[in-house]
Chains A and B, each alone.
Chain A
Amino acid sequence: MTDPLLPADELIDGHTLDELSDYLAAGRTPADPAIDDSPECRAALTALERLGRATRDLLDEEAAAAPADDDWVGRILTGIRLDVQSGRRIPIVHPDPAADLALTEGAVRALVRSVGDGIDGVLVGRCRLDGDVETPGAPIAVHLEISVRYGASMANAADEVRAAVIGELGRHAELTIASVDVVVTDVRESRAGRDGR
């Protein structure tokens, strides 16, 4: 089938460059022996692969040559700080019934992060509070994801985070913590070691 819009393309052992490019994009499946067994087609596939890789390498090189400068990053951060999502309102019981005090869910998550980050080698990732936090005394399940530094004990880290979070949330947020699940989602090495940079 010839498409009148396509440029006249000399055939490569019976195949157009366009067909070969589609074949490459499909991961060379289903395997087509007419292509795989042809040295000309294989050479063209290699050239196409090299071209795709060079395109991605080009952008990576341009990116590496122009790291984000502080002014530019600063402008983005100024834009987003005005727009911090604070989540649900968590009431705090006060002896004076006229006092209407509350914490935001965002503040509780920030507290959980600072408590978890305080454990050696731990970084807290996502934190979810399940339950009716807007009703005082309702049981809350805390789900936490953590990243642990390579070499640290995952089980110990998770236990320490769990104990510290239960302690701090009870002390500061008056939440009834029914459970704290901690899942280790990442074991991190120094990025300097990983990237060779």
Chain B
Amino acid sequence: MSDLWDAADDTLAGRAADGDTVAFEVLVRRHGPLMRAYAARMLGSTYESDDVVQETFVTAWRRLGELQEGAAVRSWLMRILSRRCIDRIRARHEHDDVTELDAPTPDREEPSRVAEARTATEALGRALDRLPPLQKRCWVLREVGQYSYDDIARELDVPVSTVRGQLARGRRKLLDEMEEWR
């Protein structure tokens, strides 16, 4: 396995598509941790996020033969994962009432602990946790999942104007909190 650890994603994806479970294991170990972190941010629960990442890998294993560019396996996995996370979110019906989503959200009661953060990423993590769920999801889909506004709107089944508004608010709040941290 040590040689496989050094292999490029392209080589591993090709072997895995041909049925090599050891190459697939290297892909799971290489990309699984980021996928877990991403799913945890999207779903707000590590219990559920571990499940969706596992489902993602099972789906990926079945469909690896369809992947044309093995080098793109990471973004391909992230797409499958995003779709899985969105399925869970839609099943919860949290974002059904669009008029409520578009209303301005009151500021959280509890004081921000962003200022106490030692590093920029820690500060951002705390700021992100303070965003309302839809703002946070739109932000993560956009900045990490590389989704377009139209894709986010279609996937979450909300109007594009809502996505634009959510991102505008989230971005403003994150910038303000980071400004204060600095």
A interface residues (Cβ-Cβ under 8 A, vs B):
3, 5-7, 9, 17-18, 21, 47-48, 50-52, 54-64, 66-68, 72-73, 75-77, 79-81, 83-87, 106, 109-110, 113, 117, 123-127, 145-147, 149, 185-186, 188-191
Choose among B18, B32, B62, B125 the residue that contacts A106 (Cβ–Cβ < 8 A). Answer: B18
Contact across chains for B168 and A6 when beta carbons are under 8 A apart = yes
Contact across chains for B32 and A52 when beta carbons are under 8 A apart = no
Counting from the closest, the 9 A-B pairs by CB-CB distance are: A126-B14, A125-B14, A63-B33, A62-B37, A125-B11, A63-B34, A5-B165, A186-B8, A147-B11
Closest to A82 in B: B58
List residues of chain B with CB within 8 A of the CB of A189.
6
Contact across chains for B11 and A186 when beta carbons are under 8 A apart = yes
Contacts A3-B161, A3-B165, A5-B102; A55 near B139 (Cβ below 8 A): yes
Taking the complex as formed, is B84 at the interface, i.e. its CB lies under 8 A from any CB of chain A? no
Majority SS at the chain B contact face: helix
Contact across chains for A56 and B143 when beta carbons are under 8 A apart = yes
Choose among A5, A62, A77, A86 the residue that contacts B162 (Cβ–Cβ < 8 A). Answer: A5
A9 CB, min distance to chain B CBs, angstroms: 7
Report the number of A-B residue pairs with Cβ-Cβ less than 8 Å.
Answer: 180
List residues of chain A with CB within 8 A of the CB of B45.
none
How far is A97 from B13 in the complex, measured between Cα atoms in Å? 40
How far is A81 from B24 in the complex, measured between Cα atoms in Å? 11
Please classify how large the interface on chain B is, using the bins under 10, 10 to 19, 20 to 34, 35 or more. 35 or more
B interface residues (Cβ-Cβ under 8 A, vs A):
3-8, 10-15, 17-21, 24-25, 28-29, 32-34, 36-38, 40-41, 50, 54, 57-58, 61-62, 65, 70, 102, 104, 120-121, 124-125, 128, 139-140, 143-144, 161-162, 164-165, 167-169, 171-172, 174-175, 178-179
Choose among A76, A106, A126 the residue that contacts B28 (Cβ–Cβ < 8 A). Answer: A76
B156 CB, min distance to chain A CBs, angstroms: 15
A104 CB, min distance to chain B CBs, angstroms: 9
Contact across chains for B175 and A73 when beta carbons are under 8 A apart = no
A-B pairs with beta carbons under 8 Å apart, 28 shown: A6-B165, A6-B168, A17-B172, A17-B175, A18-B168, A21-B167, A54-B124, A58-B121, A59-B144, A73-B25, A76-B28, A77-B21, A79-B58, A80-B21, A81-B21, A83-B62, A84-B19, A106-B19, A109-B19, A123-B7, A125-B15, A126-B15, A126-B70, A127-B18, A145-B11, A149-B3, A186-B8, A189-B6
